[in-house]
Amino acid sequence: MSGAEQVAAWRARIPGAFGGTRRGRVLAWLGWAAFLAWLGWALWHFGFAPERLWNGLTGLATILRLMIPPSPGELWVDILQGLAESVAMAFLGTFIAALVALPLGFLGAGNVVTNTLFRFSLRRVFDGFRGVDQLIWALAFVRAVGLGPLAGVLAIATADVAVLAKLNAEAIENAERRQVEGITAAGGGFLARLRFGLLPQVLPVMLAQALYFFESNTRSAAILGVVGAGGIGLQISERIRVRHWDEVAFIILLMVATVAAIDWVSARLRRRLIGGA
């Protein structure tokens, strides 16, 4: 067999070793062309013109220059109050959500509720709630209950109930059956099974999740004020509107510090909870 014949034979046996097929190459080229066309269209459509970008960047540089040094301004009491309000909103919202999500979690768990249709539709409802962002809830509640922290608390609670309930349901489904069977064998009813068979197993997990949500909610509570739902977000959007950039920088730094502090505390608490479980 000559060299060329040998190559042809091997090519027939393992085509993959000889580089992509012509069809594959053409498809890859078409894919890249489509991607570049989309990228070009998107950049053009959203107005990524060099001139506009340059103007924006110079504007941004001016803003950054005005941000230094950060200063609390005249109304630093308001800023601290807003910050405290944000943390309180996050705490209350998470607390309410965790409270409501506890029974919902049991309803959504496959080893508690055996009706598949009911469980399936409940899970889809949870998914639907998750698709709506917290800010949308905040805006809706501002229209419903008026400006202020109450709207923020309700928004945080509503947005988190569904996610927490889903996580709780998963934790309950992963719980061990033996304790539940033991309660049944000892003559315990349905509620006794839930209370003494399942709850002690899943409570630390649920608490850890609630803490985790509290952490993430301190971040989101800080921005709910942008739509009027109370907290530090209101202060920051007001100051951006009147272009007091040094105060904006001060508030951002304060927000970052608060979030870091709460993360630290909550991470320690969570480790202790999970470790003790």
Partner 1 sequence: METEGSLAFWMYRLDSWAWLLFETANMAALATLMGAGAALLLAFPAARNLGAGRVVNPAVRRLLEAMRTVPEIVFALIFVWAFGVGPLAGVLAIALHTAGACGKLFAESIENTGLGAWAGVRSAGGSWMQACRFAILPQVAPSLLSYALLRFEINLRSASVIGFVGAGGIGEELYKVISFNYYEEISAILLLIILAVCAIDLLSERLRHRVIGAMQ
- Contacting residue, 37, 39, 68, 267, with partner 1 by CB under 8 A: 39
Burial bucket for residue 113 (CB in 10 Å: 0-12, 13-18, 19+)? middle
Q: Which of residues 164-203 bind partner 1 (CB under 8 A)?
A: none
**Which stretch in 99-107, 137-145, 148-156, 203-211 sits in contact with partner 1 by CB under 8 A?**
137-145
- Contacting residue, 11, 143, 177, 271, with partner 1 by CB under 8 A: 143
3-class DSSP string for the chain: CCHHHHHHHHHHHCHHHHCCCHHHHHHHHHHHHHHHHHHHHHHHHCCCCHHHHHHHHHHHHHHHHHHCCCCCCCCHHHHHHHHHHHHHHHHHHHHHHHHHHHHHHHHHCCCCCCCHHHHHHHHHHHHHHHHCCHHHHHHHHHHHHCCCHHHHHHHHHHHHHHHHHHHHHHHHHCCCCHHHHHHHHCCCCHHHHHHHHHHHHHHHHHHHHHHHHHHHHHHHHHHHHHHCCCCHHHHHHHHHHCCCHHHHHHHHHHHHHHHHHHHHHHHHHHHHHHHHC
132 touches partner 1 (CB under 8 A): yes
147 touches partner 1 (CB under 8 A): no
To partner 1, the closest distance from the beta carbon of 222 in angstroms equals 7
To partner 1, the closest distance from the beta carbon of 162 in angstroms equals 12
Interface with partner 1 (CB under 8 A), residue total 42
20 touches partner 1 (CB under 8 A): no
256 touches partner 1 (CB under 8 A): yes
- Contacting residue, 97, 198, 236, 262, with partner 1 by CB under 8 A: 236
223 touches partner 1 (CB under 8 A): yes
To partner 1, the closest distance from the beta carbon of 237 in angstroms equals 6
57 touches partner 1 (CB under 8 A): yes
Report the residue number, 1 or 46, with the smaller CB distance to partner 1: 46
Q: Which of 232, 236, 220 shows the shortest CA–CA distance to 138?
A: 220
**Which stretch in 102-110, 192-200, 254-262, 267-275 sits in contact with partner 1 by CB under 8 A?**
254-262
Residues that bind partner 1 (CB under 8 A): 39, 42-43, 45-48, 52-53, 55-57, 59-60, 63, 127-128, 131-133, 135-136, 139-140, 143, 219-220, 222-223, 226-227, 233, 236-237, 240, 243, 248, 252, 255-256, 259-260
